[in-house]
Structure 1
Amino acid sequence: MIHRMIAVMALSFISMGVIAQANASDAHDNQTTELLAIVHASKLVDLTHSFSASTPVWSGFGQASITPAKDPKTGQPYTIEKNGFRANYFSMVGQYGTHVDPPAHFDAHGATVDSIPLNQMILPLVVFDSTGLLHKDPNHALSVNDILAWEKVHGRVPSGSFAALRTDMSRDWDTNPARFKRSPFPAWSLAAVQFLIEQRGVVAIGHESLDTDTTPRMDSETWLLQHGHYQIEAMAHLDQVPATGAVLIAMWPKVKNGDGFPARVMAVVPADVSQEH
Structure 2
Amino acid sequence: MDHRVVFDFDIEFTNGGGIQGQDFRLDITGETITDEELADYIIADLRLLMVGQVKILNKFYIQEKHKRQPVDQPSPELLVDLSHTIFDGLITYKGLPAPLICDFLSREDSRGRYEEGTEFQIGKIEMVSNTGTYIDCPFHRYGHGKDLSEVQLESFANLDAVTIDATGALEVGVDFFKDLEIRNKAVIVRTDWSKNWNTEAYFENHPFLTGEAAGYLRDCGVKLVGIDSHNIDDTRGNSRPVHTILLGAEILIVEHLCNLEKLPASGYLFSAVPPKFKGVGTFPVRAFATLPKV
| Residue type of the alignment partner of 2:108 | T
Distance in 1, matches of 2:256 and 2:244, equals 17
**2:83 matched residue in structure 1:** 48
For the pair 1:141 / 2:141, whether they are aligned, the reply is no
For the pair 1:233 / 2:255, whether they are aligned, the reply is yes
Percent identity of paired positions between Structure 1 and Structure 2: 25
**1:79 matched residue in structure 2:** 108
8 Å contact kept, 1:103–1:112: yes
Distance in 2, matches of 1:189 and 1:111, equals 24
**1:10 matched residue in structure 2:** none
Q: How is 1:27-176 mapped onto 2 (pairs within 5 angstroms)?
A: 37-38=74-75, 41-70=76-105, 77-79=106-108, 82=111, 84-121=119-156, 122-131=158-167, 134=168, 140-148=170-178, 151=179, 156-174=180-198
**1:196 matched residue in structure 2:** 217
Query: Over residues 73-125 of structure 1, what are the superposed CA-to-partner deviations in whole Å (9 max), with x where a residue is unaligned?
Result: xxxx4537725111211100011000111110010000101111122122111
More relative contact order, 1 or 2 (CA 8 Å, 6+ apart):
1
The structure with the greater share of residues assigned to strand is 2
8 Å contact kept, 1:128–1:166: yes
8 Å contact kept, 1:162–1:248: yes
* SS of corresponding position for 2:276: coil
| Residue type of the alignment partner of 1:146 | F
Distance in 2, matches of 1:142 and 1:158, equals 16
8 Å contact kept, 2:94–2:203: no
RMSD of the TM alignment (CA)? 2.2
8 Å contact kept, 2:218–2:245: no
8 Å contact kept, 1:56–1:181: no
8 Å contact kept, 2:192–2:229: no
Instruction: Give structure 1 regions of 4+ aligned residues with deviation exceeding 6 angstroms.
Output: none
Larger C-alpha radius of gyration, 1 or 2? 2
- Deviation at 1:67? 1.9
* SS of corresponding position for 1:115: coil
Distance change (3 Å), C-alpha of 1:143 and 1:254 = same
TM-score norm. by structure 1 comes to: 0.72
- Deviation at 1:170? 1.1
For the pair 1:211 / 2:231, whether they are aligned, the reply is yes
Long gaps (5+) in structure 2: 1-46, 51-72, 113-118
8 Å contact kept, 1:211–1:221: no
Long gaps (5+) in structure 1: 1-25, 30-35, 71-76
Distance change (3 Å), C-alpha of 1:158 and 1:214 = closer
- Deviation at 1:214? 1.0
Distance in 1, matches of 2:191 and 2:91, equals 17
TM-score norm. by structure 2 comes to: 0.68
